[in-house]
């Protein structure tokens, strides 16, 4: 009841009362300047739901493409992306070797975009055949988003966002960020996640500058955009799910999610936001169609469930173990 009251009160606040708007240079680093990370998982005490597929080493990113029926899995040892047939998960995966581990996977058109921070590259992997091309993108590419004919790449080391047209970097927007860890496009509005300041910032891509910024809890780690122009952010330190409108950038909801909230994915078919809980080895789904998130599903997972994705055609949920315990598939 208390959680529901908090969420409703936030919705009733006037827009500017939800959080003060500040420019990129004015929003300061939080008291703990170290970016939040995934809390460590205990040994699993409950058998994971669904089925578990073996994977070579730790899984650090996942993505699905409903059109080509592909599940993409980034593994670290050796660095590769494994391409599974979503309709034949028992079949052997196609392995695409990479020069460095992929930190973020995003589907754009008929390709999978993979950020390779240690190699300073953006990888394009054609789906489903796996043809690989790479584009040099200096500055520690950490997150990728498709924005029409442009591709936006968050650059953690350079503290900015690179704008690619085709396979060429046209410009890099670098004003006012302390860290650029992910970039998202929600209904045409672009935002960047700054983990060091645990904040979201709007991006004016046409004008080439960072706009207003809003605090995103005390330890924001991951984010996802939904079908309604919203961005959901996981506050890992405080255990919460935050909902922002992207245009204008405003905090709309804060909902408590204890247990080491970290990985996040969105099911547009059912309007569910899935969040992994690494301290509990669980994954929980929230129905986000109403005035507040409403818990819909909760399942035990593999150990260290740092990443999650959803098959948009079937709403199956896929969880990756960063502890080397495989890929979990849950059919609803």
Total domain count for the chain?
A: 1
Residue 10 falls inside a structural domain: no
Any domain includes 321: yes
Q: Strand runs (DSSP E) across 139-271, as ranges? A: 141-147, 150-155, 160-165, 168-173, 182-186, 189-194, 199-204, 209-215, 220-225, 230-235, 240-246, 249-256, 261-267
Write down the pTM of the prediction. 0.91
User: Is 187 within a domain?
Assistant: yes
12-40: average pLDDT:
56
Q: State residue 245's pLDDT score.
A: 97
Q: What is the pLDDT of residue 67?
A: 95
Quick one: pLDDT at residue 202? 97
Rounded-to-integer distance, Cα 277 and Cα 240, Å: 11
Q: For 125-135, what is the mean pLDDT? A: 97
* Average pLDDT, integer, range 283-297: 94
pLDDT band at 38, cuts 50/70/90?
very high
- Rounded CA-CA distance 246/240 in Å is 19
Domain presence at residue 42: no
Give residue 323's region: left, alpha or beta (phi > 0; psi -120 to 50). alpha
How far is the C-alpha of 124 from the C-alpha of 115, rounded, in Å? 9
Contact (CB, 8 A) for 310 and 300: no
Q: Is pLDDT of 1 > 60?
A: no
Q: How confident is the model at residue 22 (pLDDT cuts 50, 70, 90)?
A: very low
Please tell me the predicted confidence (pLDDT) of residue 268.
95
Give a yes or no: residue 114 inside a domain: yes
Q: What is the pLDDT of residue 77?
A: 87
pLDDT for res 3:
47
User: How confident is residue 30, by pLDDT bands cut at 50, 70 and 90?
Assistant: low
Cis omega (within 30 of 0) for bond into 128: yes
Q: Looking at the domain assignment, is residue 314 inside a domain?
A: yes
Q: Which CATH number do you get for residue 278?
A: 2.130.10.10
Whether residue 133 is contained in a domain is answered as: yes
Q: Are 121 and 167 in contact (CB under 8 A)?
A: no
Predicted pLDDT at 6: 41
Going by C-alpha positions, the residue among 19, 182, 206, 196 that lies closest to residue 105 is: 182
Q: What is the pLDDT of residues 41-94, one digit of tens each?
A: 999 889 999 999 999 999 999 999 999 999 999 999 899 999 999 999 999 999
Q: What percent of the chain has pLDDT over 90?
A: 84
pLDDT, tens digit, 9 for 90 and up, residues 221-268: 999 999 999 999 999 999 999 999 999 999 999 999 999 999 999 999
- Encoded tokens for 39: 């809390």
Give the range of the structural domain holding residue 207, as residue numbers without chain letter: 51-331
Evaluate whether residue 55 is within a structural domain. yes
Q: Tell me: the pLDDT tens digits for 185-221?
A: 999 999 999 999 999 999 999 999 999 999 999 999 9
């Amino acid at each position: 009841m208390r959680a529901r009251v908090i969420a409703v009160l936030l919705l009733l606040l006037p827009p500017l009362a939800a959080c003060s708007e500040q420019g990129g240079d004015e929003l300061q680093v939080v008291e703990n300047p170290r970016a939040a990370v995934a809390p460590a998982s205990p040994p699993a005490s409950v058998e994971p739901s669904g089925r578990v597929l073996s994977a070579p080493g730790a899984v650090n990113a996942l993505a699905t493409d409903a059109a080509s029926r592909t599940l993409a899995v980034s593994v670290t040892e050796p660095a590769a992306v494994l391409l599974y047939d979503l309709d034949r998960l028992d079949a052997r995966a196609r392995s695409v070797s990479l020069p460095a581990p992929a930190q973020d996977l995003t589907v754009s058109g008929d390709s999978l975009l993979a950020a390779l921070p240690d190699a300073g590259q953006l990888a394009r992997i054609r789906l489903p055949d796996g043809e690989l091309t790479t584009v040099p993108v200096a500055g520690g590419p950490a997150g990728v988003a498709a924005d029409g004919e442009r591709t936006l790449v968050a650059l953690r080391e350079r503290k900015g966002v690179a704008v690619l047209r085709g396979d060429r970097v046209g410009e890099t927007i670098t004003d006012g960020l302390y860290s650029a860890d992910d970039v998202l496009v929600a209904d045409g509005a672009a935002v960047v996640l700054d983990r060091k300041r645990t904040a979201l910032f709007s991006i004016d891509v046409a004008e080439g500058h960072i706009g207003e910024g809003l605090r995103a809890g005390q330890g924001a780690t991951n984010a996802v955009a939904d079908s309604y122009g919203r961005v959901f952010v996981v506050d890992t330190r405080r255990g919460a799910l935050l909902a922002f409108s992207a245009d204008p950038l405003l905090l709309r909801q804060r909902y408590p999610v204890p247990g080491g909230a970290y990985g996040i994915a969105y099911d547009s078919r059912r309007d569910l936001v899935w969040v992994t809980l690494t301290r509990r080895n669980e994954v929980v789904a929230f129905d986000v169609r109403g005035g507040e998130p409403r818990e819909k599903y909760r399942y035990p997972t593999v150990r260290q469930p740092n990443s999650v994705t959803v098959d948009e055609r079937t709403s199956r949920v896929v969880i990756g173990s960063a502890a080397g315990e495989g890929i979990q598939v849950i059919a609803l």
